[in-house]
Chain A
Amino acid sequence: MNRRRLRPWLIGVLGSLAAGTTLVGCSRQPSDVLQLGGAIALTGNASLLGQDARTGLEIAQQHYGQQQPQLKLVIEDTGSDEASATQAFRRLINNRVVAILGPSLSQQGFAVMPMAERAGIPVIGISTTAPGIPEIGRFVTRVASPVTVIAPRSLAKAIELTPRIKRVAVFFAQDDVFCSSESTIFQKAIGAKGLELVSLQRTSISDTDFQIPISNALRSRPDLIVISALPSDGGNLVRQLRELGYTGPIVAGNGMNTPNIFPVCQKHCDGLLITQAYNPARKNPSNTVLLQQFRRGRSADAVPPQVTAQAFSAYQVVHEALARVKANLPKGTTLISLPESDLRQQLLSTLLAMQFQTPLGEIRFTPEGEVIQKDFSVARVSMSPDGRGGRFVLLK
């Protein structure tokens, strides 16, 4: 076929595609369906957390998506940096979502949550636990309890289990705001318990080889090692600590609170102590749904990671708050008929006033948007002898 004959065909095909795209773009959502944004890290270093969150959001969408009020989940990839997160939030804001769940990292949260605040869109952090997140603005809240609440518990448990602990070495990823702030809290707790901080090693979330900082730390003969890192770097650090001969207890921060560390540190993950905001044994309807749906296609005793439970809970609180808003509307009024700003405002105020029975247990919020969660536990990682499988065993 020569080029002249090809051209009209090409123009026709491209024209049809363009027209089709325009029609699709202009078509309206069914009138009673609201869009809910999910902004999570599906690429980059934080994608391990994002994958866990996506699982939770998708399970929640399957369960709540068809219940009234109907929600359609729109997921955007925030990458693992602030620039990508900004683009994801911009797309969701332009998409006129009723609320945004995410982002994955506190570091991203400080960059993008103010955007949602300016747009008047409630944003519910899934795994953003750094201090100062709810203080970003009136529309900013989270279901992830702050590190100030979480971090000291595992340290206290380590001391309870090994009373001889006197000397502590701390590792933290200095280029991540969550890890830095969590480590500050750990260090304060170490001082408050009268322990001696004998070594402080700064690493990076992109580090893979820790032989040098480990050699530095082990020279000070610590009785306990405390790590604030993300799954990949933290898992590697644990593995190399064990391979280089450290046999004492290790407390890991919330950034490593995912089964995704198991393939990294393998049998060396055994014994890690991590505070858990999620207890799979909790008995309530939403946790039952989460467990049942999560185990489809997985082993019958598979346990959702904490971030999966947090993502599910974030979706649940929005859905239940919207249902309450809907129930309180005058007869004949629908959620979709409300002006967007009114709807979002009512969603926020209702959400902050309610109590929820989530997989995380009973949660509610302060007027500033900080989550109040009652139940926490400390888990000890237990690995199979070949290092291929592991689980978090909750300690009493």
Chain B
Amino acid sequence: MADLIQLLLNGLSTGAVYALFALGYTLVFSVLGVINFAHGAVFTLGAYFTFLLIGGAVGANGLLAGFQLPFALPFWLALLLAGVAAAVVSLLIEHIAFRPLRERGADPLLALITSLGAGVVLVNLIQLLVGAESYAIPTSALAGLPAAIRLFGAQVRTVQLLLLAVAAVLLVALSLWIDGSRSGKALRAVAEDASTAQLLGIPSGRMIQIAFGLSGFLAGIAGGLVGLSVSIAGPYFGIGYGLKGLGVLVLGGLGSVPGAVLGGLIIGIAEACVPAELSGYRDVVAYGFLFVVLLLRPQGLLGRVLPTKV
């Protein structure tokens, strides 16, 4: 029984990160119908912002070698501000990589390439500024909390439980906002049909910006939390999460918020179920599962089949 709970907790805590990541993808996809490939870079930036805001110093490499902010914030405040800073960067990406194409009526698929370009530029910029070394958010950031706790006989890291809790809170908040608020409903209207929404007086451009801002905020928060959990393993550490998040997005159903969370948790648990002797093949299991689900249900678990417009 303890083994089963351990497996479940391992899967849920891993899946929570994937879900948080995929939520950001989902928001942008739902309004623009394209995937923002720069999302991984914004996630990475969120981690670096958090590190700097808690008073971390840049190492010996990079143009900012030795740089340190003159203040040090408590972790949770730093995380919040890092989320805001990441949201600003995400808005910039929308302004530079998405909006010009949209305004010229270019094929939305082209935005895949411009966002990929923006992501590559951002990652290389990070390396230029702060070097390739790893940075860690000190474990003391969660002062007073034990490194791991025992739940029903299973051992789980406290930070993983926090990730799970934050992902759950953000999901609920996002769902409430989308379903219950006026601006959330406006976002859904834009997602449904941007032109019609515009004719009905909904500022589509503003709603797209809100989607990008929120997506960046989520990425920044996820980056800071993952940085706390596993350290910031260099400027490239968002790439792996980006790929997994993409799989989660497709599994859950493109553009579906609950789907992103469900997909994340399912892939996390699927990975946790891989036996020890095949532990290096976790990705094969996760993506194999994704492949089978898509064969049976191409729209993903909670995605909708859109009727063909005539």
Q: Which residues of A contact B (CB under 8 A)?
A: 42-45, 47-48, 50-51, 174-175, 199-204, 206-209, 211-213, 215-219, 231-233, 235-236, 239-240, 242-245, 260-261, 263-268, 297-298, 386-388
Contacts and interface: CB of A to CB of B under 8 A. Distances in A.
A206 B148 contact: no
Given A211-B157, A243-B147, A244-B155, A201 B230 contact: no
Contacts of B11: 212
A231 B134 contact: yes
B231 A235 contact: yes
A45 B234 contact: yes
B230 A51 contact: no
B25 interface: no
Interface in B136-155: 136, 138-140, 147-148, 154-155
Interface stretch (B29-37, B90-98, B188-196, B268-276): B268-276
A155 B230 CA distance: 27
B110 to A, nearest CB: 25
Interface in B112-153: 124, 127, 131-136, 138-140, 147-148
Given A48-B234, A244-B148, A264-B231, A212 B132 contact: no
Given A42-B132, A51-B133, A199 B17 contact: no
B254 to A, nearest CB: 25
B132 A208 contact: no
A236 B231 contact: yes
21 contacts: A43-B124, A43-B127, A43-B132, A45-B233, A51-B133, A201-B276, A209-B14, A211-B14, A215-B154, A232-B233, A240-B157, A240-B230, A243-B147, A244-B155, A260-B133, A263-B59, A264-B233, A265-B231, A266-B139, A267-B139, A268-B139
Contacts of A203: 279-280
Nearest to A217: B276
A16 to B, nearest CB: 28
Contact of A232 (B3, B59, B124, B237): B237
A50 B132 contact: yes
B160 interface: yes
A212 B233 contact: no
* B interface: dominant SS: helix
B299 interface: no
B277 interface: yes
Contacts of A298: 60
Nearest to A43: B127
A42 B124 CA distance: 11
Given A240-B157, A260-B133, A209 B236 contact: no
A268 B274 CA distance: 27
B234 A232 contact: yes
A211 B10 contact: yes
A154 B270 CA distance: 36
Contacts of A199: 276
A200 B277 contact: yes
Contacts of B278: 202
Contacts of A264: 134, 136, 231, 233
A27 to B, nearest CB: 28
Given A216-B276, A216-B279, A264-B233, 14 more contacts: A48-B132, A204-B280, A209-B14, A211-B156, A211-B160, A212-B272, A212-B274, A212-B282, A233-B233, A243-B157, A261-B134, A264-B136, A264-B231, A268-B139
A212 B147 contact: no
Interface in B218-233: 226, 229-231, 233
A363 B160 CA distance: 48
A260 B232 CA distance: 12
B17 A209 contact: yes
B183 interface: no
Nearest to B60: A298
B226 A208 contact: yes
Contact of A266 (B17, B136, B154, B229): B136
B230 A263 contact: no
B135 A387 contact: no
Contacts of A204: 280, 283
Interface string B238-282: 011000000000000000000000000000000110111111111
Given A203-B279, A204-B280, A244 B157 contact: yes
Contacts of A215: 6-7, 10, 154-155
Contacts of A216: 275-276, 279
B209 interface: no
B59, B139, B272, B277 — most chain A CB neighbours (10 Å): B139
A159 B287 CA distance: 41
Contact of B136 (A202, A242, A244, A263): A263
Given A51-B131, A266-B136, A219 B3 contact: yes
B133, B156, B160, B282 — most chain A CB neighbours (10 Å): B133
Contacts of B175: none
Contact of A245 (B148, B233, B236, B280): B148
B157 A212 contact: no
A41 B14 CA distance: 30
Contacts of B229: 209
Contacts of B127: 43, 47
A90 B148 CA distance: 49
Contacts of B3: 219
B41 to A, nearest CB: 14
B13 A211 contact: yes
